[in-house]
A and B are shown apart, each in its own frame.
Chain A
């Protein structure tokens, strides 16, 4: 087992590194990575991002958003959370998750905390979840990763994962709320996250052979950063790769009531209907069709509304009022 040393807290880089380890690193070795993100929401591969996040809260608190390769629901990371990743060969079956969660449970036992697998994906302490796990398979390679809440800001987690957007419907994977706990709540004597990392690493390597550590080379970093810049940090991947969805937004303004319904596919507006009791000097159908093909992205829609001369259709509103209605 090769431990890849990764001290980056950049979520886009860290997710790119995982993909690189699965797809590019030699499959003659198995890999283990411990890593942490600055405050970030990580959504599952097939989730609709805007359905999972509180856009206003994450903007105000500078919380990043990133999409991972594996499935499941949205999770919150900060520097109180520790992530672990295994990349192994697996050409028979999907391995039992317990093979990968066992070292985590043993690490907790070593510091005097009883923990148990709960369902397939979770590890819990007294029934409360502190670790969520997911897998991604690429040809004969299997990636297993999981989160470990050590001393995360749970209040930020609750707020950031509480979407304000109303009435979105999609076929994407929905997140399931769990009762969560930090490991730190259960400690009998003080322990830093760095000390816990050391204990966990020992438990992982204890079960393995031919152990070594690996520092990413300049060549590795070049490819990972390329993937970071061209995939993981892009709007197209974070938002655009969401499953198709419908959104319905209603607003009551002094100039009238408005009801906007959009169909979004690949991040682009596929169809648009606008209803309401407002006064419009021009046929609103022109505005509706003019929005088709625009990225469902605040700045893009604002720009498109200006180009389409929004005020010809809705004289008493402005671009900001409409994008506020749509995005917050």
Chain B
């Protein structure tokens, strides 16, 4: 299970990378593995604002439909439209395939997320 050091994680298996006031969000290797082949991604609209843990998108795999919850509050700056044509990128490269970029509304949100070590332990616990 690949869990990069430089990201923060939620217990719903989303990741966020932070650069200044901007966060990029995606789903983890654990999430894509358990979802199976991803066949559709519904992206948020640029300019939409969300509270922390609001559903910002929908992911459909061959197994199930799940919501994507934003790890932090903020306003959508950009979405990865490539995923509309190629949702399988979330399976192939989950940490390269960011879903949306968000202007962070409150950086304190990040304190509530897990670092790589804590997330690795969290996943380990689920597998046991």
Contacts and interface: CB of A to CB of B under 8 A. Distances in A.
B65 A70 contact: yes
Nearest to A172: B40
Nearest to B61: A71
Given A45-B60, A91-B126, A171 B65 contact: no
Given A91-B126, A94-B34, A94-B35, A136 B63 contact: no
B106 interface: no
A243 B40 contact: yes
B62 A120 contact: yes
Nearest to B126: A92
Nearest to A244: B84
Sorting the interface of chain A by its residue count into under 10, 10 to 19, 20 to 34 or 35 or more gives 20 to 34
A195 interface: no
Given A45-B58, A46-B58, A139-B12, A171 B64 contact: no
A294 B64 CA distance: 33
A173 B64 contact: no
Contact of A45 (B62, B65, B126): B65
A120 B64 CA distance: 11
A135 B64 CA distance: 5
A93 interface: yes
Interface string B14-57: 00000000000000000000111001101000000000000000
Nearest to B127: A92
Contacts of B67: 138
A321 B13 CA distance: 51
A94 B84 contact: no
Contacts of A91: 126
A70 B58 contact: no
Given A171-B85, A173-B39, A243-B42, A94 B126 contact: no
A70 B85 CA distance: 21
Interface string A41-53: 0001110000000
Interface string A79-100: 0000000000001111001000
A94 B60 contact: no
B121 to A, nearest CB: 15
A271 to B, nearest CB: 17
Contacts of B127: 92
A101 B61 CA distance: 19
A46 B34 CA distance: 20
A320 to B, nearest CB: 34
A137 interface: yes
Contacts of B35: 94
A310 interface: no
Given A94-B64, A138-B67, A71 B40 contact: yes
Contacts of B93: none
Contacts of A136: 64-66
A120 B63 contact: yes
B40 A135 contact: no
Given A94-B34, A171-B85, A173-B39, A46 B63 contact: no
A308 interface: no
Interface of A: 44-46, 69-71, 91-94, 97, 120-121, 134-139, 142, 171-173, 243
23 contacts: A46-B40, A46-B42, A46-B58, A46-B65, A69-B65, A71-B39, A71-B40, A71-B65, A94-B35, A94-B36, A94-B63, A120-B63, A134-B65, A135-B63, A136-B64, A138-B67, A139-B12, A142-B64, A171-B85, A173-B39, A173-B40, A173-B60, A243-B40
Given A71-B40, A94-B36, A173-B60, 16 more contacts: A46-B42, A46-B65, A69-B65, A70-B64, A71-B65, A92-B127, A94-B35, A97-B63, A136-B64, A136-B65, A137-B64, A171-B40, A171-B84, A172-B40, A173-B39, A243-B40
